[in-house]
Amino acid sequence: MHIPPLYKRPGWQRFLAGTMIGTLIGYIIFVFMFGEMQQNLIEENFTLRGELLELKDTHQALVENHRLLDEQAKEGIKINQITIQFTNLETYKIEHDRIMIQQLTEAIKQEANQMIGKNVEEVANSTDLLIRAIENKTITIDDFKFQATVKKMIVIEELKLSIELKKAS
């Protein structure tokens, strides 16, 4: 059997050359498209990994926050600090005397300092005792004697006392 020498004819030569060039161009286009597709998939993969890590961190932070809130709820909210405000310093003309105001504040804080670190519920239950302790104390600063009266008390994470002063005899 003999295969006819068709490769010597110019028509067949153009057909075979076109097939080779077409195959080469098709392969180049395939490699380009495959590379672009892989690049897009890799970029999407990195984006999704970043979002996954961000979501894991957010989830971990929320779980930790929830755990802390549960512990806080079990322990109860505690008093962290005490704020004292005087309502009638103008009456005794001591509103600009910072040293006397500081001494008055410290004297009242000595009575109220026992409330720091206690649960809000405990402090709310013992407000009468705290008010009596503050009002029964005579504060002596220099030659002045003052009697404190609690006008308003707010019990949250911060114990806020609004105090009115009276001259003691």
Q: Do 150 and 88 fall into the same domain? A: yes
DSSP 8-state class, residue 4: -
- pLDDT of amino acid 35: 96
24 within some domain: yes
Q: Do 131 and 156 fall into the same domain? A: yes
Q: Do 71 and 101 fall into the same domain? A: no
- pLDDT of amino acid 95: 83
- pLDDT of amino acid 80: 87
- pLDDT of amino acid 26: 97
Q: Do 163 and 85 fall into the same domain? A: yes
Amino acid at the residue 103: Q
Q: Do 67 and 126 fall into the same domain? A: no
| Domain, as residue range, for 53 | 6-75
1 within some domain: no
Q: Do 66 and 97 fall into the same domain? A: no
Q: Position of tokens 């006819």?
A: 4
For 144-153, the pLDDT digits (tens) are 899 999 999 9
- pLDDT of amino acid 46: 95
Q: Position of tokens 């005794």?
A: 92
Q: Do 59 and 18 fall into the same domain? A: yes
Q: Check residue 73 and give left, alpha or beta (phi > 0: left; psi -120 to 50: alpha).
A: alpha
Cβ neighbours of residue 133 under 8 Å, at least 6 residues apart? 111
Mean pLDDT by 10 residues, the chain (169 residues): 69 88 97 96 95 95 92 80 90 85 90 86 88 90 88 90 88
For 112-128, the pLDDT digits (tens) are 888 888 888 888 888 89
Q: Do 67 and 34 fall into the same domain? A: yes
